[in-house]
Amino acid sequence: MSGANFKQDSLDVSQLASPHLISELEHLRRNCSDVQLAEEEALGAIQKTEEKHGQLKGSCGKCPADWFFHNSSCYFFSIVKSASFQKNWHDSRADCISRGSDLTVIDSPEEQVDFCTSLKRPCNISKKEKKWVWINNVTEVESRYWSPGEPNNHGPDGEDCAVIVYKSTSPWKTRYDAKCQDHKLYWLCETHLLQYLSCPNFS
């Protein structure tokens, strides 16, 4: 084989191999980019997990700022934020939900006395509609907490929401029915402190 023929054959082989090599190179580049992207995503996920771990470790067993703890639940009383800011029943509940909670359910005599004695201000609570059903769908059967003459469903449109109005002379009889839209009062939110009951072990 002459030198000229060898060069021509080599050139032909190179030309034939070039598309294949270019394809392989592009494939390797794509794989490399995918690996880099996966690595970045993994590092980001690790960072977020570490941040959440730190937040959970710092807050485990504690109520959020401006909330108070009572009997395995956290409570938020709106007057803590503003003594002049009040809402109707629906807006009060919407605020509680935005905080990851709901309007308070008073489900024991102790809770009735404790809260009504400590609040000493009118506030929305979590009963609504004609059967007086709490927001957790439990029907209220206890009548001794109603103020005398309540609920009276006053007015042509009636009163379908319940509020607490504290009286030092009668801390047991504090509940009144009220107009859901018209009456603007303070409100009390509640959320169960599950982290308090079962905190993970942190290393």
- Mind giving me the DSSP string for 89-158? HHHHHHHHHHTT-EE----SHHHHHHHHHHH-S-EEEEEETTTTEETTSPBP---TTBPTT-----STT-
- Mind giving me the DSSP string for 99-111? TT-EE----SHHH
Task: Give pLDDT tens digits for 53-75.
Answer: 555 555 556 788 888 888 888 99
Please provide the average confidence, as pLDDT, over all residues in the chain: 75
pLDDT of residue 144: 84
- Per mean pLDDT, which range of 19-23, 51-55, 171-175 is the poorest? 51-55
pTM, full prediction: 0.61
- Cα-Cα end-to-end distance for the chain: 75
